[in-house]
Structure 1
Amino acid sequence: MKTINKQHWNRQQQFDHFMGLKDPSFAITFKVDVTNAYAFSKSRSISFFGKYLHDCLRAVNSIENFRYRIKDDDVVEYDVINASPTILRADKTFGFSFVKYDDNLNAFLENLLKEKQRVQSTKNLYPPVNGDDCIHCSALPWIPFTGHKEPVSGLVESIPEVSFSKVEEVDGNCMMNVAVRVNHALIDGYHVGQFYEKFQYFLNE
């Protein structure tokens, strides 16, 4: 992790402008084609959610602005961003998790499985390990949503939030909507566009 020198930062004015607003966040929902990712998961009997979450993190980690976070009065850049997905329990409550990212898909799936087992064996809402070096994410596989709104704490929020919809078949392809909410002081539409393109690229592999 490194601290950004805001005095010599090329987006200092954008940062100051958006941080002066009551709500500096913006949100976008877009479709991705998960046909290849779904087929890959089924052919190898692995978690489809784990596969596309890994692809999502590969995209996030490849974009510098998605690794920025606000800590007190500073802007920091993390080296690696992990995942903090909500995990459903048998009684239909959920717990927050913290899944360590790994470039290797199998290692990441093992980390995800361990967190899933931990959440499902406890009633705790929060994970024992947590931090800003993550994205907050959730899957809503029951709803093909076209818009999405996350709760707002009223505090300074700089962790990107990503939600994944129900998969629907469209013209023979498996399509999924993805909602992204980010802090505009750190991330612009251009960077969300980069995320969309990279996410789709990794899903297609």
Structure 2
Amino acid sequence: MKTVDFSNPHRKKHFDFFREMNHPHFNITANVEISRLLPFLKDNKFPINIGMVYLLARTANEIPEFRWRIRGDKVVEHPLVHPSFTVSTDVADVFSFCSVDFSYDSSMFFDKASTIMENMKTNPSLEDEIGRDDFLFMSTFPWVSFTSIQHAMHYHPSDSVPRIIWGKFFEQDGKTLMPLSVQAHHAIVDGRHIGQFFQDFEAMASAPSDFF
């Protein structure tokens, strides 16, 4: 982990400007094409939910700003950030958090995620490890092809963990599309970074065998 130094005066002003806001997060929702990704996951018998978590986490990890976190007046950059995502349970009709250390080795990630998800079915948790901010908060909303979403969260002290959620797949003009929402703290993530996230994810989803 390293400290991010805003040596550019305008970038420092941008950070200070948004950091002082009461509602510093912004959210972009758009449809992404998964026409090749979905059959690839099914043909290889990969759980679709874990496949989405893996590829979305991989996309985020390859953009430095998605690994930045605000700590007081400073910003740190983690070498990796790890998905903490929602899963259903056998003990209640509400979800559990499921945190899995990210690995670029997809087989290793799938194995770890499957084991932890199975445990969470009967031993659910709503707590992330205290003191850690190297997460990506993720969720799926498979019932609706939503067009926007609002997250419950604390804004102060600064919560700079990105939120990523995807919804119900649907067919349109011969393509399989998926609503995807990405929310981030505007002091460290700008519009171009979220734009890059959407573009990079679609590029990976169009050639899944290159990334799994």
* TM exceeding 0.5: yes
Q: Give the gaps of 5 or more residues in structure 2.
A: 208-212
1:50 matched residue in structure 2: 50
Report the counterpart of residue 83 of structure 1 in structure 2.
Answer: 83
| Contact 2:97/2:124 (8 A) holds in 1 | no
Equivalent position of 2:179 in the other structure = 177
Q: How far 1:201 moved relative to its partner?
A: 0.9
Deviation at 1:61, TM superposition (A): 0.9
Q: Aligned pairs, how many?
A: 205
* Residue identity opposite 2:61 in structure 1: N
CA positional deviation for 1:137: 0.5
2:40 maps to 1:40: yes
* 8 Å CA contact 1:35, 1:175 repeated in 2: yes
Distance 2:63 2:174 in 1: 31
One-letter amino acid of the counterpart of residue 145, structure 2: P
Percent identity at matched positions?
Answer: 27
Unaligned runs of 5+ residues in structure 1 are none
User: 2:117 aligned with 1:112, yes or no?
Assistant: no
Tell me if the contact between 1:32 and 1:177 (Cα under 8 Å) persists in the aligned partners. yes
User: What is the distance in 2 between the residues matched to 1:177 and 1:135?
Assistant: 18
8 Å Cα contact 2:24-2:155 kept in structure 1: no
TM-score, normalised with respect to structure 1: 0.93
TM-score (norm 2): 0.91
**Residues 118, 73 of structure 1: alpha-carbon distance in 2 compared, 3 angstrom cutoff:** farther
Decide whether the 8 Å contact of 1:69 with 1:76 is kept in 2: yes
Deviates more, 1:118-127 or 1:74-83: 118-127
Tell me the distance in 1 between the aligned counterparts of 2:138 and 2:125.
18
Q: Distance in 2 between matches of 1:70 and 1:131?
A: 12
Counterpart in 1 of 2:59?
59
Alpha-carbon distance between aligned partners in 1 of 2:9 and 2:40, rounded to the nearest angstrom: 41
Alignment partner of 1:137 is 2:153: no
User: Distance between the aligned counterparts of 1:3 and 1:75, measured in 2?
Assistant: 6
User: 1 CA distance for matches of 2:120 and 2:141?
Assistant: 18
Contact 1:98 1:130 in 2 (8 A): no
Deviates more, 1:125-134 or 1:10-19: 125-134
State the Cα RMSD in Å.
1.7
The residue number in structure 2 matching 1:148 is 149
Q: Would the alpha carbon gap of residues 139 and 50 (structure 1) be closer, same or farther in structure 2, given more than 3 Å must change?
A: same
Q: Distance in 2 between matches of 1:197 and 1:162?
A: 15
Q: Any runs of at least 4 consecutive aligned residues in structure 1 with deviations exceeding 6 A, and if so which?
A: none
Tell me, what secondary structure is at the counterpart of 2:36? helix
